[in-house]
Structure 1
């Protein structure tokens, strides 16, 4: 797998670089650092940014790329020319509820990137609790496969979350819905088949996940679970085209914007080893 880390400013981007390095180690991936400067006027300072970032990746073979222009435009161009599988970008800490944590460049990359995107948020990188979000579509299998591989490599605990729309009128509360999950998994409904298949995929990587079924707004339920379970990484999918890109892509953007942790948005599939079940 080929990973591109977009470094804007050091030492502020230290956690971003370290998290990208962690993923590279877990997946045995090649790693490229990219810094986009506004002009060639301060060559020494731009070289220093890449040198400081590379110092955080001791033991890893790192390629360094420096270019000039607009960050989003140049990053997307580099992604296409370099045939990368994943780009790692940062999210700033919003000081107010009205402030967006993703810069305009990060938002543009998340929406337009031809590959998967890892949005890093927080301090020191860790991967102990992973939340895999499944929409019950053909997007689910690449998301689950990527999540399973990363989680097994990191020894992380996994929660598999499926949000099934609004609460049926026959139920009065979320606790009652949760109690029906074992019974649901015994049925032959589309949701039950999907959750069983998802559990089989995880089991093929020797992962026993906690399965959670929620009813409500997709973004709200994902963020709620991330807060309640102190998640380190949310993994979800985003389609590359069609009407689902408008809906699920918007979900991915809103989750990345508001999550309390890092978010991996899987586009297409990541080239990680798979097993047959």
Structure 2
């Protein structure tokens, strides 16, 4: 039985090319999972999208991947939310390649709206970075990252890719014992008896059970800087991130959305999924 989610590939007719379609088609062939193409008509002709959607559907059917094409009008996010209501387990594949760069950094931009609205996985595509050889998951060492870690592990298993779990230890800002212990032993974090170490060991165990080659990389410094430095130096094809929207506490409103900031800064595909509220802290 395939335990990987079906794909909802969202496309806009006013784009000159369709990175989400190219990537989603390759991913569906790899994962052998059903596909729904959501084509949203914008101003101007939709003939290019119609042609490319039909071509992709034919290519998927030729390898026995179930596919359907749906058309919608107007706002892409609203159209996506309507479709997700019908297939809540689906992984959304979407591209912001042609959105102005400044919009990627807007606090209430499209990516953050989708993060806030969806509990299912979101795969944001700009550059294809295909095939999958090297996947990184940025783990906070806390349970809310578990869904994206598990999904990335299953994808790595199917692709035969290597998997890295990255944990960043920040400089100590608060005076409490756990933070001091992690900070003092960050170079040997897995040898400590801390929640973060236990979580990372569980992630490694799950990867091993699935036959995936996996490792943990621990860095020390400012979270965003260290994540971006590792991504840019590591040659990764896919980046997995947890979501601050996993948290229901008020503190979420006052801390930076690292996932959205990383998404704005890197062009390789980025996978994110919200954890359950009871695991968010």
When normalised by structure 1's length, the TM-score is: 0.79
Q: For 1:83, what is the secondary structure of its paired residue?
A: coil
Q: Is 2:241 the counterpart of 1:236?
A: yes
Which residue of 2 is the match for residue 65 of structure 1? 70
Q: Is 2:277 the counterpart of 1:267?
A: no
Match of 1:162 among 159, 162, 167: 167
Q: For 1:6, what is the secondary structure of its paired residue?
A: strand
Q: Is 2:137 the counterpart of 1:132?
A: yes
| Residue pair 2:134, 2:237 contacting (<8 A) in 1 also | yes
Deviations 1:31-60 (A, max 9, x none): 011112247xx7xx4365133134135133
More helix by share: 2
Q: How far apart are the structure 2 equivalents of 1:140 and 1:236?
A: 7
Q: For 1:118, what is the secondary structure of its paired residue?
A: strand
Which residue of 2 is the match for residue 56 of structure 1? 56
Q: Within 5 Å, which residues of 2 pair with 1:1-277?
A: 1-9=5-13, 12-38=16-42, 45-46=45-46, 48-57=48-57, 58-59=59-60, 60-92=65-97, 99-101=102-104, 104-123=109-128, 125-166=130-171, 181=187, 183-238=188-243, 239-243=245-249, 246=253, 250-268=257-275
**Structure 1 segments unaligned to the other structure (5+ residues):** 169-176, 270-277
CA 61–247 in structure 1, closer or farther in 2 if over 3 Å, else same: farther
Which residue of 1 is the match for residue 180 of structure 2? none
Q: How far apart are the structure 2 equivalents of 1:20 and 1:187?
A: 40
Deviations 1:149-181 (A, max 9, x none): 11111111221101122269xxxxxxxx9x964
| Residue pair 1:31, 1:61 contacting (<8 A) in 2 also | yes
Q: How far apart are the structure 2 equivalents of 1:180 and 1:136?
A: 12
Q: How far apart are the structure 2 equivalents of 1:29 and 1:151?
A: 15
CA 28–249 in structure 1, closer or farther in 2 if over 3 Å, else same: farther
Give 1:11 shift.
7.0
Q: For 1:126, what is the secondary structure of its paired residue?
A: coil
Q: For 1:145, what is the secondary structure of its paired residue?
A: helix
**Structure 2 segments unaligned to the other structure (5+ residues):** 174-182, 277-281
Q: For 1:7, what is the secondary structure of its paired residue?
A: strand
CA 180–217 in structure 1, closer or farther in 2 if over 3 Å, else same: closer
CA 93–208 in structure 1, closer or farther in 2 if over 3 Å, else same: same
- TM-align CA RMSD: 3.1
Q: How far apart are the structure 1 equivalents of 2:198 and 2:246?
A: 25
Deviations 1:159-209 (A, max 9, x none): 1101122269xxxxxxxx9x964x442332333222222211111111232
CA 46–26 in structure 1, closer or farther in 2 if over 3 Å, else same: same
CA 247–145 in structure 1, closer or farther in 2 if over 3 Å, else same: farther
